[in-house]
Every structure is written in structure tokens, then in C-alpha cells.
């Protein structure tokens, strides 16, 4: 199945039913009075998180959803039937954005979670409702109200606890294939991974975590180069980032410089994301002798003193058990600390909010950059702008508004 992580849809709620204008007309009943009933409410549109889905591809083929209208009221004080609500299933981890107002309407991250995205129109009132002691025969009714109409952008962020990042061919796909049941494509050329993949790493019967692999990053990824920036949003929900560094790159580049370059791209994408724990894993260590490996570990530790450094080889099955166990221990400690320390729990919530803001802002910047590029392509204008130059051309920063039920 094709992996699609962004889609636009149109949702329209149902119109409320009109109120009825009617008077009771029955033999032997004089002046029966008004008996026009109210209409029914229009149906609403809800999004429903479904853990069985993992892509937004269905919305490419069905981009419009409309709930049913409410029925009109009838004589003899009959109330019209309400329009039926519709539930639109989306993958867990979907963020919903109103394309017109740029409001973040909600984040569907737990199974069965529902989000109201278009509310049905209110029902109209029949003339029986307006009967009073001074107005015994009202001819007033009200029409049903129109339902909400919205164009939404759905953005999928995979739910994983450990995220892999690194240059192309750093060994990420091989690693996730070895430590989990995931079966990503592995080949001896760059950009083998074209879409993110998930794998469950099981430590014991009651201990496991989810690992995510995204396409490799290159220099300039935060400005749209390569494939990785397109999927960096999938790292935004992770609790720890595992940075794989090839100890023997084919281009003879320096592994330390490569590690620093990737972290700079990560910071350019989201400063808040770099506050997550980042572990360094020197991959393919079976290609180095022990002396060279120790020298590289020492240099890496001096360059990034706050980063734990591991030596692993997925093909050689070196260091994998230690890495998995330590990751599981870190995740358990994070959960326990968040439960026992309210300040830590609040910090983690704020951090996730900041990361989400950075991801949203970066996504909007890239969309606008592509739009400007399309418009100026025929005019020969220079669209190779830095982020600061690009922001100067905009009216202001995008404001992210969170709407909670």
C-alpha cells in the first residue's frame, strides 16, 4: 500500500430541517390551533482514530464527506428526524488543521478518539412553538440552519517512542529490520528508504517499544533538500532519538562531521526537537579495528559530551542487546518520572506542544515556498531564499491556535 502522510479533505455538515406551519383541522374541533412541529438537527461530521489504518491514501480517492440533512417538521406536532452523523476513520497520530483559518482543531492520538470537525445545522422551529396566551394562532416559523463547511488538512505523525535518524546508508533500515519484525527495503545505494516504517522492538513478554525509521537526511534537509525533511514530522512524537553514524562512509567523509551536520539540520527544523534525548550509535563497527573504533568513540564523546555513544553492527549482531535494553530502561524511567513529578509532566507536555508548533510552522513555510516557486518560475525570480529572508517576505508568523473539546 502506498504511504501518504498528508491529505486535504472537504467536510460538510447537514442542514437543519425547517419548522412546519400547520393548524389543526379536524371535524368537531373548532379552532384547533397551531400544530406545526420542529425540524430535525442536521448531521455532524466526526473524525475517528482507527488503529487499523496507517496511511491517508484513502483520502486521495474520496476527498469530500457530507452528513445528511435534518428532516422538516410535520403537522400534528411531529418533529422531523435528525440527520445521521458520519464518522470518518483516520490513522492514529493524525493532526487536523483548518486550511482557511490555520487553526489546529485537534490531534487524534488514541484509539477510538473522536473529533467533531463540522457541526450540523440547528433545527427550525414550527409555529406551535410560538403559541402563547397573546398569540393563539402564530404563523411564524424558522428555517433550519446550514451546517459547517470546512476544508481540512490531515497530517499524519507516526506514533513511535524511538526515532532513527542519520545520513542515507547509515544502516537505519538494517537496524530496525534486525531488532524488530519490520521488513524495510535494504540496498547498497542511498535513499533506499522512501517512506517511514515502524517496528515493534520486544524486550520481554511485557516490555516493548515502537521504533520509527525515516528516509536519510542530507545537508540542507531543513530547507527541503532530499527526502528526510518531508518525514521529519514523524519524529515529533518520539521520546528519544537514536542517531546512527556510519563509521566508514563510502565517500570517505569524517563521521564526526557527519554527526554534527545532521544535528544542525535537526535544530534548523525544530530547536525544541533537539531537547529530546539524543543517543549516538556508531553503526557498521565490524568494519573498523578495535583501536580505530576506540579513537572514534573518544573523539565523538569529546565532540558531543552529553550524548551517550554506542557501538553497533546490525549485520554482525554487535551491541544490539545492550542498546535495546538501555532504550527500554530509559523509556521506563521517563514514564515513571512523568507520573511522579508533576513539573516534569508539565515540561514534557510543553515540549511536545513546542515541537508540534515547530513542525506546523515548518510545514507551512515549505508549502508557501513551493507556492511562491510555482508562481515565480515563469518570471525567473530567485526563490532560493534563506528562512530569515523568506520570513521577511511574509506578513507575519503563523499563529497556531489549539482548540480543545
Q: State pLDDT tens for residues 88-105.
A: 999 988 999 999 988 889
Contacts of residue 197, Cβ cutoff 8 Å, sequence gap at least 6: 173, 176, 182, 184, 212, 213
71 lies in some domain: yes
Q: Half-sphere exposure (CA, 13 Å, Cβ side) for 195? A: 14
pLDDT value at position 171?
A: 84
Mean pLDDT to the nearest integer, 13-33: 89
Residue ending a domain, choose from 343, 369, 385: 343
Query: How is residue 48 annotated by DSSP?
Result: E
Lowest model confidence (mean pLDDT) among 36-45, 105-114, 154-163, 367-376 = 367-376
Q: Domain of 263: which CATH number?
A: 3.40.50.300
Q: Rounded to an integer, what distance in angstroms lies between the CA atom of residue 262 and that of residue 258?
A: 6
Asked whether the beta carbons of 280 and 287 are under 8 A apart, the reply is no
Q: Domain of 28: which CATH number?
A: 2.70.210.12
Q: Rounded to an integer, what distance in angstroms lies between the CA atom of residue 188 and that of residue 191?
A: 10
Q: Please tell me the total count of domains within the chain.
A: 2
Asked whether the beta carbons of 65 and 12 are under 8 A apart, the reply is yes
Q: Rounded to an integer, what distance in angstroms lies between the CA atom of residue 117 and that of residue 101?
A: 13
pLDDT value at position 155?
A: 87
- Place 184 in a pLDDT band, splitting at 50, 70 and 90: low
pLDDT value at position 397?
A: 41
pLDDT value at position 390?
A: 45
Task: Share the mean pLDDT of the chain.
Answer: 83
391 lies in some domain: no
288 lies in some domain: yes
Mean pLDDT to the nearest integer, 261-279: 88
pLDDT value at position 187?
A: 46
* Judgement on whether residues 171 and 116 belong to the same structural domain of the protein: no
373 lies in some domain: no
pLDDT value at position 223?
A: 60
* Judgement on whether residues 96 and 187 belong to the same structural domain of the protein: no
More confident residue, 369 or 7: 7
pLDDT value at position 57?
A: 84
- Place 40 in a pLDDT band, splitting at 50, 70 and 90: very high
75 lies in some domain: yes
* Judgement on whether residues 225 and 299 belong to the same structural domain of the protein: yes
- Place 165 in a pLDDT band, splitting at 50, 70 and 90: confident
210 lies in some domain: yes
Instruction: At 273, list the grid cell.
Output: 526537537
- Among 309, 321, 316, CA closest to 281: 309
Percent of the chain with pLDDT over 90: 44
pLDDT value at position 383?
A: 46
pLDDT value at position 358?
A: 84
Asked if the model's pLDDT at residue 160 lies above 70, the reply is yes
* Judgement on whether residues 84 and 222 belong to the same structural domain of the protein: no
pTM of the model: 0.70
Residue ending a domain, choose from 289, 319, 343: 343
- Among 91, 93, 145, 156, CA closest to 118: 145
* Judgement on whether residues 102 and 31 belong to the same structural domain of the protein: yes
Q: Rounded to an integer, what distance in angstroms lies between the CA atom of residue 341 and that of residue 320?
A: 31
306-330 pLDDT, tens digit each: 899 999 998 888 999 999 999 999 9
pLDDT value at position 17?
A: 97
* Judgement on whether residues 205 and 259 belong to the same structural domain of the protein: yes
Burial class of residue 173 in the structure, from the number of CB atoms within 10 Å of its CB (0-12 exposed, 13-18 middle, 19+ buried): buried
Instruction: At 36, list the grid cell.
Output: 406545526
* Judgement on whether residues 226 and 318 belong to the same structural domain of the protein: yes
More confident residue, 358 or 114: 114
- Among 138, 142, 146, CA closest to 125: 142
Asked if the model's pLDDT at residue 191 lies above 70, the reply is no
206-259 pLDDT, tens digit each: 888 988 887 767 666 556 555 545 667 778 888 999 999 999 888 888 999 999
Determine the longest span between alpha carbons in the chain, in angstroms.
109
Give the ranges where 7-138 is alpha helix by DSSP (H): 58-61
pLDDT value at position 327?
A: 94
Lowest model confidence (mean pLDDT) among 128-137, 261-270, 281-290 = 261-270
Q: Rounded to an integer, what distance in angstroms lies between the CA atom of residue 170 and that of residue 172?
A: 6
pLDDT value at position 214?
A: 78
Mean pLDDT to the nearest integer, 180-184: 68
pLDDT value at position 181?
A: 74
* Judgement on whether residues 11 and 62 belong to the same structural domain of the protein: yes
Q: Rounded to an integer, what distance in angstroms lies between the CA atom of residue 56 and that of residue 189?
A: 28
Q: Which domain holds residue 172?
A: 162-343
* Judgement on whether residues 150 and 87 belong to the same structural domain of the protein: yes
Lowest model confidence (mean pLDDT) among 174-178, 182-186, 366-370 = 182-186
361 lies in some domain: no
Query: How is residue 92 annotated by DSSP?
Result: T
DSSP-derived 3-state class of residue 126: coil
Q: Rounded to an integer, what distance in angstroms lies between the CA atom of residue 44 and that of residue 229?
A: 36
56 lies in some domain: yes
Q: Rounded to an integer, what distance in angstroms lies between the CA atom of residue 41 and that of residue 124?
A: 8
Q: Half-sphere exposure (CA, 13 Å, Cβ side) for 41? A: 10
Residue ending a domain, choose from 130, 156, 182: 156
* Judgement on whether residues 198 and 281 belong to the same structural domain of the protein: yes
Q: Rounded to an integer, what distance in angstroms lies between the CA atom of residue 317 and that of residue 171?
A: 13
* Judgement on whether residues 266 and 149 belong to the same structural domain of the protein: no
* Judgement on whether residues 139 and 186 belong to the same structural domain of the protein: no
pLDDT value at position 22?
A: 94
Amino acid at each position: 500500500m502506498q504511504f501518504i502522510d498528508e491529505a486535504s479533505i472537504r467536510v460538510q455538515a447537514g442542514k437543519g430541517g425547517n419548522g412546519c406551519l400547520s393548524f389543526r383541522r379536524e371535524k368537531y374541533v373548532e379552532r384547533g390551533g397551531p400544530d406545526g412541529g420542529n425540524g430535525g438537527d442536521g448531521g455532524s461530521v466526526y473524525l475517528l482514530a482507527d488503529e487499523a489504518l496507517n496511511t491517508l491514501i484513502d483520502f486521495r480517492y474520496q476527498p469530500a464527506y457530507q452528513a445528511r440533512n435534518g428532516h422538516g417538521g410535520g403537522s400534528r406536532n411531529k418533529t422531523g428526524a435528525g440527520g445521521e452523523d458520519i464518522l470518518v476513520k483516520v490513522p492514529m497520530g493524525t493532526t487536523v488543521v483548518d486550511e482557511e483559518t490555520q487553526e489546529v482543531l485537534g490531534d487524534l492520538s488514541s484509539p477510538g478518539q473522536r473529533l467533531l470537525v463540522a457541526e450540523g445545522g440547528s433545527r427550525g422551529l414550527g409555529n406551535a412553538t410560538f403559541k402563547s396566551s397573546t398569540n393563539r394562532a402564530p404563523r411564524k416559523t424558522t428555517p433550519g440552519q446550514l451546517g459547517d463547511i470546512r476544508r481540512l488538512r490531515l497530517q499524519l505523525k507516526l506514533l513511535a517512542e524511538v526515532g532513527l535518524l542519520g545520513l542515507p546508508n547509515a544502516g537505519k533500515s538494517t537496524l530496525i529490520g534486525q531488532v524488530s519484525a519490520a521488513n524495510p527495503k535494504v540496498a547498497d545505494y542511498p535513499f533506499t528508504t522512501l517512506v517511514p516504517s515502524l517496528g515493534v522492538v520486544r524486550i520481554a513478554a511485557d516490555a516493548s517499544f515502537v521504533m520509527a525509521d525515516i528516509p536519510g537526511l542530507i545537508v540542507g534537509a531543513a530547507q527541503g533538500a532530499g527526502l528526510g525533511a518531508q518525514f521529519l514530522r514523524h519524529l515529533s512524537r518520539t521520546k528519544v532519538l537514536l542517531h546512527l553514524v556510519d563509521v566508514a562512509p563510502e565517500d570517505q567523509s569524517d563521521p564526526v562531521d557527519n554527526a554534527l551536520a545532521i544535528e544542525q539540520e535537526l535544530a534548523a527544523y525544530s530547536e525544541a526537537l533537539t531537547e529530546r534525548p539524543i543517543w549516538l550509535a556508531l553503526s557498521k563497527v565490524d568494519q573498523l579495528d578495535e583501536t580505530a573504533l576506540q579513537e572514534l568513540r573518544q573523539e565523538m564523546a569529546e565532540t558531543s559530551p552529553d550524548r551517550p555513544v554506542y557501538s553497533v553492527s546490525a549485520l554482525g549482531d554487535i551491541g544490539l542487546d545492550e542498546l535495546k535494553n538501555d532504550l527500554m530502561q530509559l523509556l521506563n524511567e521517563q514514564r515513571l518520572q512523568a507520573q511522579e513529578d508533576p513539573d516534569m509532566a508539565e515540561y514534557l507536555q510543553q515540549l511536545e506542544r513546542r515541537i508540534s508548533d515547530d513542525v506546523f510552522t515548518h510545514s507551512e513555510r515549505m508549502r508557501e515556498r513551493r507556492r511562491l516557486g510555482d508562481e515565480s518560475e515563469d518570471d525567473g525570480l530567485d526563490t532560493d531564499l534563506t528562512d530569515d529572508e523568506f520570513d521577511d517576505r511574509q506578513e507575519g508568523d503563523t499563529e497556531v491556535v489549539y482548540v480543545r473539546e
